[in-house]
Amino acid sequence: MADLKPHLKGVLRPDFQWGYATAAAQIEGAWNADGRGESIWDKLGHTPGKIKDSSTADDACRSYDFYKEDVALMKSYGVRAYRFSLSWSRIIPLGGKDDPVNPKGIEFYNSLINELLANGITPFVTLFHWDIPQALEDRYGGMLNLEKYTPDFLRYARVCFESFGDRVKNWITYNEPGVYSLAGYAAGVHAPGRSSNRELNEEGDSSTEPFIVSHTELVSHAHCVKMYREEFKPTQKGTIMITLHGNYSEPWDAEDPLDIEAAERAREFEIAWFADPIYKTGDYPASMRAQLGDRLPRFTEEESKLLLGSSDFYGMNTYTTFYVKHKKTPPELTDHLGNVEKLENNSKGVSRGTESDTYWLRTCPWGYRKLLNWVWNRYHVPIFMTENGTTAKGEHLDTPPADPLNDTHRIEFFNGYLNALASAVKEDGVDIRSYFAWTFTDNWEWAAGYTDRFGVTWIDYKSPERKRYPKRSAGVIREHFEHYIAKE
């Protein structure tokens, strides 16, 4: 049941966009159909021992085949918008600036976009959600090579702007560049699977590569935005931004200056790492430079100018909050957190929140509101919430639910987070313009395979058509936004 607060009625702007977010690699399936090339996630998924349940995304949710049914279901949920990503290797199978475009890939996304618009749903399109073509990884190491990668990414972006920009007016360059870097090049558990841990990965250097790859993402993002603004925006009249990850860090001991400083440093290492160059200074935070030294790449003067202001809005993905404690020992060479310890309970034994079905994710709406304020006060850029959601225990059923699945935990999560969002707008003056819940359907959740169910729609993975079953949370989210959004 939706926990609607009377004093929050109508606090969101009339043109507020809400809906669900997805990623191509997690839902489409049809991994080698109609000319699609291999991505780094296809390779990792087909490598034994890399995915928790030994599954692949070969079929995933079969959204490639059932996109019309998905759009109809979204419409029944009352959404205004849908954020999805494009598969680079479906559009340019080999990925490069001189490689051929796949007409079938263009045709699929044109059909999806047209279906959304015909049903009154606004598309928000992400160019890159972690699935670089494997051919580029093989040719030159992918994002480890800024000089070779950038023209390939720009050509891919150009094809997308030319093919879809007459109808798509909301573009996102990268999704969570920091997670891509850290999970893929520091921990080595995500594609392309590189790290200093030789028991897990054959190649990689966790002390340098995450920062090199992130630098590539930032610089190529800036060039992409410049291209869009100069060549496409005048006629297409769209907007373009980047989406950054970041969970809130709260001091373990709220009265200890070292923990207070550590929590701020943790936010800078996680969020300001990307946000400061784009929205504040054109450079990395001083706290990162102090710890990392020359392992943190440097922007040229031209790159800094290109980066600053290179996102029309602040795209924000967040899920939870951690208590953060200062480490008394010097930082390790492979530290990417700012030399802090993350804890479940604070110095007084207070938990950070109710457990979900995912080890790191706990419900913490008060931390979410604090994070919205921290981002707004630091950058003063309108926020587009592009991902937020949770798993819930007990959803791995042997048979499909007879009625809408009563996902109480997820309902409580959205009740707390959505009321926190509306309160941040009304009481704190934060400018928030969208909310995309993660996610529309249960999906292939990267290295977790099918063991994490984030959807507001339950998927029967045993059925050939991946039959969809609504969960009660979908209706609760709709009630919230019908309550919050002001009538025109």
Give the pLDDT of residue 480.
98
Nearest C-alpha neighbor of 78 from the set 479, 488, 398, 483: 479
Q: Which two tokens stand for residue 358?
A: 């995912």
- Residue range 9-31, pLDDT digits in tens: 999 999 999 999 999 999 999 99
**What total number of domains does the chain contain?**
1
Supply the range of the domain harboring residue 331.
6-484
In a domain, 417, yes or no: yes
Give the pLDDT of residue 349.
98
Q: HEC profile for 73-102?
A: HHHHHCCCEEEEECCHHHHCCCCCCCCCCC
Q: Which two tokens stand for residue 205?
A: 């250097």
Most distant CA pair in the chain: distance in Å?
A: 60
Question: What share of the chain in percent tops pLDDT 90?
Answer: 99
What predicted TM-score, i.e. pTM, was given to this entire model?
0.98
In a domain, 384, yes or no: yes
For residue 386, what is the enclosing H or E element? strand 383-387
Give the pLDDT of residue 291.
98
In a domain, 53, yes or no: yes
Give the pLDDT of residue 218.
99
CATH number of 45's domain: 3.20.20.80
CB 244 within 8 A of CB 274: yes
pLDDT at 414 over 90: yes
In a domain, 36, yes or no: yes
Burial class (CB in 10 A: 0-12, 13-18, 19+), 147: exposed
Give the pLDDT of residue 488.
83
- Residue range 301-354, pLDDT digits in tens: 999 999 999 999 999 999 999 999 999 999 999 999 999 999 999 999 999 999
- Residue range 257-307, pLDDT digits in tens: 999 999 999 999 999 999 999 999 999 999 999 999 999 999 999 999 999
- Beta carbons within 8 Å of 61's beta carbon, 6+ residues apart: 26, 27, 28, 29, 441, 442, 443, 444, 459, 466
Which are the catalytic amino acids? 176, 387
In a domain, 1, yes or no: no
For residue 257, what is the enclosing H or E element? helix 257-267
Give the pLDDT of residue 210.
98
Give the pLDDT of residue 86.
99
